[in-house]
A and B are shown apart, each in its own frame.
Chain A
Amino acid sequence: GEDVEQSLFLSVREGDSSVINCTYTDSSSTYLYWYKQEPGAGLQLLTYIFSNMDMKQDQRLTVLLNKKDKHLSLRIADTQTGDSAIYFCAALSNNRKLIWGLGTSLAVNP
């Protein structure tokens, strides 16, 4: 069935770039999303990319999509301690179901 996979943990130093990776199985996915969840809070939409794009930049965030390999990445430039959170990748399938990854826990060390 449809699946989205992410690595579970990432640790970076403050000021470095973070790259969070995601792979998905449904090649008909139309939109791909990155959500952020801070401790004790709900999820917050960070950014998304349409499947006919290969890159989207929004301030410190860069999303890269390799549709052939079904690989999505989120790059956070100049990572700050406030970026420490869990980042979820999600893919919108053709039947409009949102398939979620398990989340990548990002730890930013001073």
Chain B
Amino acid sequence: EAGVAQSPRYKIIEKRQSVAFWCNPISGHATLYWYQQILGQGPKLLIQFQNNGVVDDSQLPKDRFSAERLKGVDSTLKIQPAKLEDSAVYLCASSQGGTGELFFGEGSRLTVL
């Protein structure tokens, strides 16, 4: 069974530029999550989708971050414009039924200069 796929693995941009991350969850998993993990911290939920609907985006900085999950399968997370404090690893995860059993991708590491 293929795992959660994310790309790109690494991205370096300058502040005020834009960046997009892509995630393809495990086949059949209805719930998809985007987490932000800053070095030395635990994962912080940015947005949770159930199929293609948003369940929780309370911690998503909506002035600069956006996410979509078209057709309830893969998802993109966009940051525009990026700030220095957005430097982090962006983790995508999926689960079957919205339980705490999450399957994570390897993450996309963003460095904002």
Contacts and interface: CB of A to CB of B under 8 A. Distances in A.
B32 interface: no
Contacts, number: 47
A92 B44 CA distance: 14
B22 interface: no
A101 B42 contact: yes
Interface residues of A, number: 20
A43 B91 contact: yes
Nearest to A96: B98
Nearest 6 CB-CB pairings of A with B: A42-B104, A100-B42, A92-B100, A43-B104, A102-B42, A42-B106
A44 B56 CA distance: 22
Interface of A: 31, 33, 35, 40-45, 48, 88, 90, 92, 96-98, 100-103
Contacts of B40: 102
Interface residues of B, number: 20
B102 A43 contact: yes
Interface of B: 4, 40-45, 56, 91, 93, 98-107
A48 B100 contact: yes
A44 B93 CA distance: 10
A2 to B, nearest CB: 12
A12 B76 CA distance: 41
B105 A48 contact: no
